[in-house]
Amino acid sequence: MTTVLEALNQALHTAMQADERIYMLGEDLLDPYGGAFKVTRGLSSQFPDRVLTSPISEAGIVGAAGGMALRGLRPVVEIMFGDFTTLIADQLINSLTKFRWMYNDQVEVPLVVRTPMGGRRGYGPTHSQTLEKHFLGTPGLRVLAPCALGDPGKLLAQAIQEDHQPVLFIENKLLYLKKVNDPAILDDFTLTEISTAGSYAPSYRLPLHGAPPPQLTIACYGYMAGLALEAARRLAYEKEIFCELIVPTQLAPFELDPVVESAGRTGRLLAVEEGAAALGWGAEVIARTAEETGGSLKACRRLAAADLPVPASMPMENEILPDVNAIMQSAESMV
């Protein structure tokens, strides 16, 4: 069975094979090291002229990749840790996402910035964060987050080969070794892919099969989807609380319909994310769903990390990041 890491690595190989316009930029990409998390392993051996290993210049390489994209190439940048995306914020927000619109639709910037995000490895305050919320809502920026469902490799390949705008591709570190569509995890669920209007990035709906109608919708993405599936399974077996998951792979622009449809049926919405709680993704999901459902929700709640830096100490980190138990407790409190 393929892991998410293998799926992403294979997608990069296949894409670079298929399209000579694809260039890879990032720090420490060269084999045998092949990138800090090995997503780019093998690329520099197979495509030595199109893999540019770079100095520690996150803003510089994202800017350079943007210039390449502006002039006909399809570059992909790896930012070694998601925490370092703060360093590329100016390039993305003030330049690359603006060019198409501010130059009156005369240019395109087909650029993918991939980055490993998230905690639970004890890396501490500057190597464990979930920072994508700071980029959500930037006009002209598509933010994607694969999960261990569906086809994460295809999602990456489409972002690289088909998109016309900058994409920030958020890869949770703990996803890398997860198996894609692992039957041991999906056994109790029915997985349905829902296509997104105007995008290639799907959402997934996962009700429990053979269960009574769900009482609660859990919206989540990335690695949290796996934790939420485990929580939903245990809630069903241990508490007779039945949940349905909605898992988008596109965080921005946000695809509301699957959440609204599900929460409209269940009447309850729990939004779960690994980033810090305040003013985050969940807040937008709940606000938008509330607007659309016209006050018919019986309960809604956010579950996210505490509004603190991520500690290095594993027990402390476990305490501030949402886990399976926290999801179960939040769900229980709503029904």
Partner 1 sequence: MLYQIRRFEETVLGEFSSGVFSGTTHTYLGQEANAVGVLSNLNEGDIVFSNHRCHGHFLAYGGDMQALFAEMMGKPSGVGGGRGGSQHIHWKNFYSNGIQGSIAPVGVGAALAEKYQGSGAVTVIFLGDGTLGAGVLYEALNLASLWHAPVLFVLENNRIAQTTPLEMAVAGGIAERFRAFDIPTEELDSSDVLEILPAAQTAIAAVRKDQKPKALVLHTHRFGPHSKGDDTRPEEVVAEIKQQRDPVRIHAARLDGPARKKIESQVDGQTAAAFEAARQAPAYNGKGKV
Specify the stretch interacting with partner 1 by CB under 8 A; choose among 89-97, 139-147, 150-158, 169-177.
89-97
Measured CA to CA, the distance from residue 160 to residue 260 in angstroms comes to: 29
How many other C-beta atoms lie within 10 A of the C-beta of residue 18?
A: 12
CB of 90 to partner 1, least distance (A): 6
* C-beta contacts of 318-325 below 8 A and 24+ residues apart: 318/120, 321/119, 321/120, 321/274, 322/224, 322/227, 322/272, 322/273, 322/274, 323/227, 324/227, 324/230, 324/231, 324/234, 325/231
> Which tokens belong to 34?
């092949």
32, 106, 210, 315: which one contacts partner 1 (CB under 8 A)?
A: 106
Measured CA to CA, the distance from residue 331 to residue 128 in angstroms comes to: 26
> Does 62 sit near partner 1 (CB under 8 A)?
yes
CB of 269 to partner 1, least distance (A): 32
CB of 97 to partner 1, least distance (A): 12
Which residue matches tokens 């459902």?
A: 293
14, 30, 47, 59: which one contacts partner 1 (CB under 8 A)?
A: 59
Instruction: Please give the C-alpha separations between residue 323 and each of 120, 188, 319, in angstroms, as whole numbers.
Output: 10, 20, 9
Residues contacting 287, CB < 8 A, separation 6+:
none
> Does 67 sit near partner 1 (CB under 8 A)?
yes
Residues that contact partner 1, how many (by CB under 8 A)? 35
> Does 70 sit near partner 1 (CB under 8 A)?
yes
103, 126, 164, 307: which one contacts partner 1 (CB under 8 A)?
A: 103
> Does 71 sit near partner 1 (CB under 8 A)?
yes
> Does 198 sit near partner 1 (CB under 8 A)?
no
Residue type, 89: A
Nearer to partner 1 by C-beta: 96 or 245? 96
> Does 96 sit near partner 1 (CB under 8 A)?
yes
Instruction: Please give the C-alpha separations between residue 335 and each of 146, 180, 251, 321, 328, in angstroms, as whole numbers.
Output: 29, 31, 27, 23, 11
Measured CA to CA, the distance from residue 294 to residue 312 in angstroms comes to: 43
**What residues are paired with 311 via a beta bridge?**
none
> Does 63 sit near partner 1 (CB under 8 A)?
yes
22, 24, 68, 259: which one contacts partner 1 (CB under 8 A)?
A: 68
Specify the stretch interacting with partner 1 by CB under 8 A; choose among 97-105, 152-160, 224-232, 270-278.
97-105
Nearer to partner 1 by C-beta: 33 or 103? 103
CB of 75 to partner 1, least distance (A): 8
- By C-alpha distance, which of 120, 245, 122 is closest to 185? 245
Specify the stretch interacting with partner 1 by CB under 8 A; choose among 6-14, 61-69, 166-174, 224-232.
61-69
How many other C-beta atoms lie within 10 A of the C-beta of residue 129?
A: 25
14, 54, 199, 293: which one contacts partner 1 (CB under 8 A)?
A: 54
Nearer to partner 1 by C-beta: 68 or 304? 68
Nearer to partner 1 by C-beta: 94 or 315? 94
Residue type, 82: G
Q: Which residues bind partner 1 (CB under 8 A)?
A: 23, 52, 54-55, 57, 59-73, 75, 90-91, 94-96, 98-99, 101-107
